[in-house]
Amino acid sequence: MSQPAHHLENGSASASENGVDRLAAADAAKAEANAHFKDHQYTEAVDGYTKAIALNPTNAVYFANRAAAHIHLENFGCALTDASKAIELDPKYTKGIYRRADANVGLGRMKKALIDYKRAAQVNPRDPDLRKKLTQCDKEVKRIRFEEAVATPDELPAAEGLDLSSIPVDDSYDGPTMEGSEESGYTLTRDFVVAMIEHFKAQKLIHRRFAFQILLQARDILRELPSLVDVSIPADQHLTVCGDTHGQFYDLCNIFDLNGLPSDENPYLFNGDFVDRGSFSLEVILTLMAFKVLYPRHMHLARGNHESQSMNKVYGFDGEVKHKFNGLMANIFKETFCWLPLGHVLNRRVLVVHGGLFSRDGVKLDDIRAINRYREPPEEGLMCELLWSDPGPSNGRTPSKRGVGVAFGADVTQRFLQDNGLELLVRSHEVKDEGYEVEHNGYCVTVFSAPNYCDQMNNKGAWIRFNGKDMSPQFTQFEAVPHPDVKAMAYAGNFFSSMLSM
């Protein structure tokens, strides 16, 4: 997301007579952090830059470099703070200025990013990388403003204007076909979905007629669901909960190989962030939605922070859909994502949401049920926090490292669960080295199901199985599997991929 490793600056400080050792130690810590950065060890890089800053808190380069590492970790709030500090220390330090812009792009805040790109260009007008970012961001802001100008409150949803009968399946199509005909209509079957998965594995697409049908049927099912779905798991049955998949289709297939395909007897809950980053996001979401159509009561899908227009524009899904199909399908995905539920309650004992808890006490499950979810996620409030918040290491609440949502402590988790008669919070939203992590005295579990995230993080993936009899979480870890040589963020465009690529 930040500049490539070779763009990290050395920032060697000039030492005063009585500060040689301290400043030399700071530069040594910075050099070690740079090495971690080049090896994609961003957490270790943050630690190294932090050590350098503690030894020499007046060096703007240290703060800007730490901002770069935070951006790779998606800690956009920390990156904004560090970049702003670099600018405070050196108002003409170009990389400090446009790293703050990069962090705002990561949050989808294009208008704020544009201000800083313009400011940086005034300081260093000949920087070619900066000029490219400025040009692309300016185009994106103009597009946003145009869409805002022409939008009307009563505009008909794109899905309601689509006539499937107007999309014939041409004779040249050689992929899997649904049962039925254009005259009588097509029916989605399990055999078709299995054949579709194999077609996707061969890097082939299904006909747009069938893709649109899956999307529209899934939309119709999702829009009938409440914002918070109650799921019953009988004592002799189970449910598998998976975290982020982020467009890693071949790893999704591996989950199904290891744990079985979804069915009435093998139900799943996928906890958001199906798309973006990975470059097979379309294959992931069509597969999950097809199973939702087949097994509406046994395939559960929750919204993540990446099921949103602003994230999809930045992280690749919008570009991928337009490349593989068209802009109409991208618009219908945008509308359908707004119908995804915000959470699930399992056997009245376990709450599963993508992000986490809230900036205030006293929130009840009925407050979640009452959320009007059919919209793009706001930047504050209950819906935002459900999608963006993270557990923190200390009690109480602190500002989010992401710049959105809140970091909530173990005491917050336990009060919320007690207030709502629950036993456990399950969430996703964060890469974990082991694929999962148990925190907050055992009351909060994170599960992440995209192993070797973006082909660089070397993390395991995991899923959780809950048996209805005791509802005790059982964890299964798995490794990444090979996939075709298509890089993460391949459809994000040159501007976004150069800045946001992991």
Domain ranges of the chain: 5-150, 208-500
In this predicted structure, what is the pLDDT of residue 382? Answer: 98
Whether 246 is a known active-site residue: answer no
Print the SS3 string covering 417-447. HHHCCCCEEEECCCCCCCCEEEEHHHCEEEE
In this predicted structure, what is the pLDDT of residue 87? Answer: 98
**Exposed (0-12), middle (13-18) or buried (19+): which is 27, by Cβ within 10 Å?**
buried
In this predicted structure, what is the pLDDT of residue 495? Answer: 53
pTM, to two decimals: 0.94
- CATH architecture group of domain 5-150: Alpha Horseshoe (1.25)
DSSP string, 274-292: -SSSSTTHHHHHHHHHHHH
3.40.50.720, 3.40.50.300, 3.60.21.10, 3.30.460.10: CATH of 208-500: 3.60.21.10
Q: Out of 72, 207, 306, 483, which one is annotated catalytic?
A: 306
In this predicted structure, what is the pLDDT of residue 170? Answer: 93
In this predicted structure, what is the pLDDT of residue 147? Answer: 86
Give me the residues of the chain with pLDDT under 70, please.
Answer: 1-7, 9-18, 494-502
In this predicted structure, what is the pLDDT of residue 502? Answer: 33
Give the SS3 label for residue 201: helix
Smallest Cα–Cα separation from 338: which of 379, 376, 366? 376
In this predicted structure, what is the pLDDT of residue 7? Answer: 57
* Eight-class DSSP state of 166: G
Q: What is the rounded CA–CA span in Å between residue 233 and residue 347?
A: 6
In this predicted structure, what is the pLDDT of residue 499? Answer: 52
CA angle 229, 230, 233 (to 5 degrees): 130
In this predicted structure, what is the pLDDT of residue 501? Answer: 39
In this predicted structure, what is the pLDDT of residue 151? Answer: 81
